[in-house]
Amino acid sequence: MKLIGIAVVALIAGSLLLPAPAPQEKKEVSLTNVSYDPTRELYKEITEKFSRAYQAKTGQAIVVNNSHGGSGAQARSVLGGLKADLVTLALASDIEILEARGFIKAGWQDRFPGNSSPYTSAIVFLVRKGNPKGFKAWSDLARPDASVITPNPKTSGGARWNFMAAWGSVTQNGGTEAQAIDFLRKLFERVPVLDTGARGSTTTFVQKKIGDVLISWENEALLALKEEGGDQVEIVYPDSTILAEPPVAVVDRVVDQRGTRAAAEEFVRFLYTDEAQEVIAKWGYRPRNAEILARHQNALPPFKKLFTIKEVAGSWTEAQKKYFSSGGIFDQIYQPR
């Protein structure tokens, strides 16, 4: 029954999100950008700037509609028929699913610079002001006096990044897989609530004041800091962490059908321009452009040690299968011993 409910909601949401036909000029082009949850503010500003730049360059009016939701749910909407010209999702595996079903051609990740990720982010800790429990390293999160907030990796893409960061903090620093399982089992014993999404966990930590440390995207932590005024929480950069590369792709099947390929590709190229990279830095994501990143190093300081999903697990598709599918490592952690 739930499935049907979800399908109906997705259909209604999908139909609302579809671009309305433009009545005044026939020439106006529209694009639909299907993105994940925390990028709302970022893409709102970028699409405004893009529309202006595009009209100045080509003389053509353009409207970009942004749709946001959980990364996996968004990928499912596209599979279910939501006409997305572009997908800008949290996990490469969500785009790989579209590739496997023929929506996107193979090799999409090499079509644009930096593995098709115009910005990166990383997983950091958000702690109570003054860091009263002195969290510095991943190993601190398994201490008996710690209470850790992170969303459920089964339902949240962000939580999967958190999980792989914790995992990599063991295996990328000389630890074995058995030690990593042991560490994660202890860490998840310290988690009182697994919200279904990243924003839910931020609310639990900041508004409901539950837990000592929130594992979070850097951009989400910076946003929480900004909204709350910086007198209750602060960011801790752990000893090592994972580099998140949220990828973007043009949905070949849709743009070829709608004749919007040129505009969609122009949009992705725009994300790499100085103008867009500045907006990216402003909203707490790390721009690919090293110069612009350096200019913002007060808010975005250099990391001590970074590893990638490729180093930890090979790829997101492999990670998904090994860690988060039924009976995978996450399920084993919650198995009665």
Residue 101's CB is within 10 A of a number of other CB atoms, namely 12
Query: Binding residues for another protein, how many (CB under 8 A)?
Result: 36
In the complex, what is the shortest distance from the CB of residue 189 to another protein, in angstroms, rounded to a whole number?
10
Give first-to-last CA distance, the chain, whole Å: 33
- Which parts of 293-332 interact with another protein (CB under 8 A)? 320, 324-327, 331
User: Rounded CA gap, 275 and 163, in Å?
Assistant: 33
User: Is 14 near another protein (CB under 8 A)?
Assistant: no
CB-nearer residue toward another protein: 34 or 73: 73
User: Is 334 near another protein (CB under 8 A)?
Assistant: yes
Instruction: Give CA separation, 70 vs 73, 135, 156, 186, 213, in Å.
Output: 5, 29, 7, 27, 23
H or E element in which residue 121 lies? strand 119-128
In the complex, what is the shortest distance from the CB of residue 53 to another protein, in angstroms, rounded to a whole number?
35
Q: At 211, is the secondary structure helix, strand, or coil?
A: coil
User: Is 238 near another protein (CB under 8 A)?
Assistant: no
How does strand 248-250 pair with strand 86-88? antiparallel
H or E element in which residue 34 lies? strand 29-36
User: Is 337 near another protein (CB under 8 A)?
Assistant: no
- Which parts of 172-191 interact with another protein (CB under 8 A)? 191
User: Is 4 near another protein (CB under 8 A)?
Assistant: yes
- Which parts of 97-126 interact with another protein (CB under 8 A)? 97
H or E element in which residue 242 lies? strand 241-244
Q: Which of 57, 208, 226, 269 binds another protein (CB under 8 A)?
A: 208
User: Rounded CA gap, 66 and 63, in Å?
Assistant: 10
In the complex, what is the shortest distance from the CB of residue 69 to another protein, in angstroms, rounded to a whole number?
12
In the complex, what is the shortest distance from the CB of residue 103 to another protein, in angstroms, rounded to a whole number?
13
User: In a 10 Å sphere around its CB, with 0-12 CB exposed, 13-18 middle and 19+ buried, how is residue 38 labelled?
Assistant: buried
User: Is 35 near another protein (CB under 8 A)?
Assistant: no
CB-nearer residue toward another protein: 281 or 333: 333
User: Is 9 near another protein (CB under 8 A)?
Assistant: no
User: Rounded CA gap, 183 and 4, in Å?
Assistant: 39
User: Is 227 near another protein (CB under 8 A)?
Assistant: no
User: Is 155 near another protein (CB under 8 A)?
Assistant: yes
Kindly list the residues in this chain that would bind another protein in the complex (CB under 8 A).
1-4, 6, 70, 72-73, 75-76, 97, 152, 154-157, 191-196, 200, 207-210, 320, 324-327, 331, 334-336
